[in-house]
Amino acid sequence: MPRKPSGYVTQVEIPSEHRSRYDVILQALYGTLAVTEAARRLGLSRVRCQTLVHRAQEALVQAIIPQAAGRPAKPPSMADLEAQVKTLARENEILRTKLEDAENLFAAAGQVMRSLRTRRPRRRPKKTGDDPQEPESPTASLRSRRRSLPSARMTKMRAELDRALRALDGTGRARRRRPITAEAAATIERLVRATHGLIGAEALQRAAAVSRRQAAAEKARVVTAMERDRKARCGTVAVAAPGRIRGFDAMYLWTLDGWRYLLIFADSSVSYRTTIVVAERYDADSVAAALKLDIANHGAPLAYRLDRASCHDAPAVRQVLAQHSVLALHGPAHHPGYYGQLERQNREHRAWLEALGTVTAAALADAVNPMMHALNALWPPP
């Protein structure tokens, strides 16, 4: 009988080139080193470093908790998956049964339709004393097959047969649907536009004297045209004169000294960057200082277009804006197109700076002015 494998784990070998990073994580785990300082040494963001510390603590806690005796229970996710498999198997069996019934129904309907196409004209019976037996009509055959269908599972199929019966006249040939007239189409379009698309197909059927399917098709056409007209009327907001509204946004950059943030101000009327500040932190104090510098160099605009970051609506930022009587325009949630101009400019900034490679924070600060000159003066505006 084979022996049970031992649960002993040998000591983990740590590569020498990563020993220093391992020691930093241990110091942050023991609390002898702040998480912010550990993130700076490792070249990670503070959130990422804090996540690593929390994962190590969670693994240690799970390892020291005594486990119950016996076979370990299945995880809840596995039990949920097994229950879903059983449910899907039952639903699959129901769908298979419905499919078999539908195939039988279509086979029966096909036989009836073939008999309608190949039915010969009935001969006039000879005049005798006894009346001959009247043969069963195609529609009567369809109705008899309809009554034999299961009522619970074949409701849709019975409705299809009912429509086929209504489409057949006394001779067994399907009636052609009359096309909708121009007057009826105009009536439907007028009612749909007047009610902003709220009117239903049944009401249009009664108002325009058409079938429900024709009314639904015409309503869909008119609603599509209304939506296209609405989109055509929606245009972009254009700022008429420069110096009235400025946009502000931040861009993250990795340097040899850690993360740095470009605080960028640009005019909303023309493609012109007014101020770019390299900040060590992206907080309310840095944003307020950058606002003061931009206002001091280029004057106070009527409004700044800001996103919904918490540091853009801090008391320090509101105090600077109130001091210069500047309005803060915060865009709506989940609408990045509101800041589309600066987002497109940030792609140009990132492409220009990526050509430099990863540099120090001082070299990044020295590269800001040449970048502004290249993008503002050397690039002809449209």
Are 361 and 260 spatial neighbours (Cβ–Cβ below 8 Å)?
yes
pLDDT of residue 194: 94
Sequential DSSP letters for 345-362: HHHHHHHHHHTT-S--HH
pLDDT of residue 366: 93
Which range has highest mean pLDDT (41-50, 116-125, 206-215)? 206-215
Which range has highest mean pLDDT (102-111, 136-145, 280-289)? 280-289
Split at pLDDT 50, 70, 90, the class of 172 is very low
Residue 339: is its pLDDT beyond 80?
Answer: no
What average pLDDT does range 36-64 have in this prediction?
86
pLDDT of residue 25: 83
Give the CB-side neighbour count of residue 278, counting CA atoms within 13 A.
21
Provide the 10 A C-beta neighbour count for residue 105.
19
Residue 266: is its pLDDT beyond 80?
Answer: yes
Are 219 and 188 spatial neighbours (Cβ–Cβ below 8 Å)?
yes
Please name the helix (run of DSSP H) or strand (run of DSSP E) that holds residue 252, with its range, or none: strand 245-255
pLDDT of residue 195: 93
Q: What is the Cα 254 distance to its own chain's centre?
A: 30
What average pLDDT does range 29-46 have in this prediction?
86
Is the dihedral angle over the CA atoms 150, 154, 159, 165 positive or is it negative?
negative
Sequential DSSP letters for 172-239: SPBPPPPPPPHHHHHHHHHHHHHTTT-S-HHHHHHHHT--HHHHHHHHHHHHHHHHHHHHHH------
Tell me: the pLDDT tens digits for 224-256? 999 999 888 876 677 878 889 999 999 999 999
Comparing 15-24, 124-133, 321-330, 360-369, the range with the smallest average pLDDT is 124-133
pLDDT of residue 184: 92
Q: What are phi and psi of 304, to 5 degrees?
A: -110, 135
Higher pLDDT pick, 337 / 26: 26
pLDDT of residue 1: 54
Higher pLDDT pick, 65 / 310: 310
- Structure pTM? 0.43
- What span, in angstroms and rounded, lies between the C-alpha atoms of 264 and 294? 10
pLDDT of residue 240: 78
Are 251 and 262 spatial neighbours (Cβ–Cβ below 8 Å)?
yes
Split at pLDDT 50, 70, 90, the class of 4 is low
What average pLDDT does range 298-314 have in this prediction?
91
Strand, coil or helix: 275? strand
Split at pLDDT 50, 70, 90, the class of 217 is very high
Share the mean pLDDT of the chain: 82
Residue 117: is its pLDDT beyond 70?
Answer: no
pLDDT of residue 61: 83
What average pLDDT does range 362-374 have in this prediction?
92
Which range has highest mean pLDDT (104-113, 144-153, 316-325)? 316-325
Are 264 and 342 spatial neighbours (Cβ–Cβ below 8 Å)?
yes
pLDDT of residue 123: 59
